[in-house]
Chain A
Amino acid sequence: MTAATETHTEHDHSHDDHAQHGMSNAGYIRIALILAAMTALEVSTYYVDFGALFMPVLIILMVVKFFIVVSYFMHLKFDNKLFSFCFYAGLFLAVMVYVIALATFKFFAA
């Protein structure tokens, strides 16, 4: 395979990715409804006693909502992996740095 053909194949692949890029508008509305339902569940923890599940439920919902928005609304799931690297490298660094900083101040021991 020549370099030019290789580039072309690569391009065709990225073109396929680009086609999937956009979900349909109905798909976006479905995602928004899922996010709204998750937000309602989060807010319900203020009114309903979830006992020991209170903290895990809130943290899991927060993380899942975060990744749904980043993956679907921000298109990272369908976009070039370089974009994912640029963002997740910063996110990973931030989480590591501040978890260590909080641990240093014995935040998790409290």
Chain B
Amino acid sequence: MSDVAVHEADHGTHGHTTTTGLSNNKIAMWLFLGSECLLFGGLISTYMLYRGRVSEGPRPGNVFDIPFTSVSSFILLMSSLTMVLAVSAAQNRDDRGTTLWLTITALLGATFVGGQVYEFTAMYNEGLGFTTSLFGSSFYTLTGFHGVHVTVGIIMLMSVVGIIKRSTIPGDKAEVVELVGLYWHFVDVIWIIIFTLVYLIPA
């Protein structure tokens, strides 16, 4: 086997020769995640600036339910464990294990999103609407964007489960699972920051 061919097989480039010898898909995903840092950096900074700007409606300390959000955070953190176990199973070509761990990850993610919907509803009932104050607007925008990312992650996870079952992933399945895993872990690390800066550190 030529060196180029060895490179292709090892890094899952699906028959395409790359100048780096690395998967272009994986480089693209890391670049995308790097750019996402800028998106969430902007949202988090905006919240930090506006969290004390409450002309009417409840203040942050009055609406946050820390025990509830702590449980949600723990669930999302554990979904990172199940995700990495899915990647590990995919690398061992264990399709059954991969689909099992991916499904559990999606369920944990759905639990987190369900918790966020419950939290938003409770906050709204306490008088914090999207336009009530700058705090409300920046809070819902930041955590809402994160929730949308988790939801997109769940759709990606279930799509991968579907295409693994139909065996329609061309080339290296492990790389596809790994790419979805990178996105999922990123969503988790963003929540690690949000949980501390938004919920635990008071305005």
Contact = CB atoms under 8 A, between A and B. Distances in A.
A70 B22 CA distance: 19
A7 B84 CA distance: 31
Contact of B45 (A66, A93, A102): A102
B26 interface: yes
Contacts of A43: 66, 70, 200
Interface string B72-108: 0110011011011100100100000000000000000
Contact of A25 (B33, B49, B85, B189): B85
Given A11-B3, A90-B36, A82 B22 contact: yes
A36 B38 CA distance: 27
B41 A70 contact: no
B7 interface: yes
- Counting chain B CB atoms within 10 Å of each CB, the highest count among A7, A45, A74, A105 belongs to A74
A90 B35 CA distance: 6
Contact of A101 (B45, B81, B197): B45
Contacts of A65: 189, 192
Contacts, number: 132
Interface stretch (B118-126, B139-147, B180-188): B180-188
Interface in A42-56: 42-43, 45-46, 55
A11 B27 contact: no
Interface residues of B, number: 51
Contacts of A35: 77, 80
Nearest to A67: B189
B196 interface: yes
A94 B38 contact: yes
Interface residues of A, number: 51
A69 B34 contact: no
Contacts of B127: none
Given A69-B192, A86-B34, A97 B41 contact: yes
B20 interface: yes
Contact of B201 (A32, A58, A102): A58
Interface string A54-73: 01001101100110011001
A4 interface: yes
A46 B193 CA distance: 16
Given A11-B3, A65-B192, A69-B80, 4 more contacts: A7-B7, A61-B196, A73-B80, A86-B34
13 contacts: A11-B6, A14-B10, A14-B21, A15-B10, A62-B192, A65-B192, A66-B192, A69-B185, A73-B80, A74-B186, A91-B34, A94-B38, A107-B48
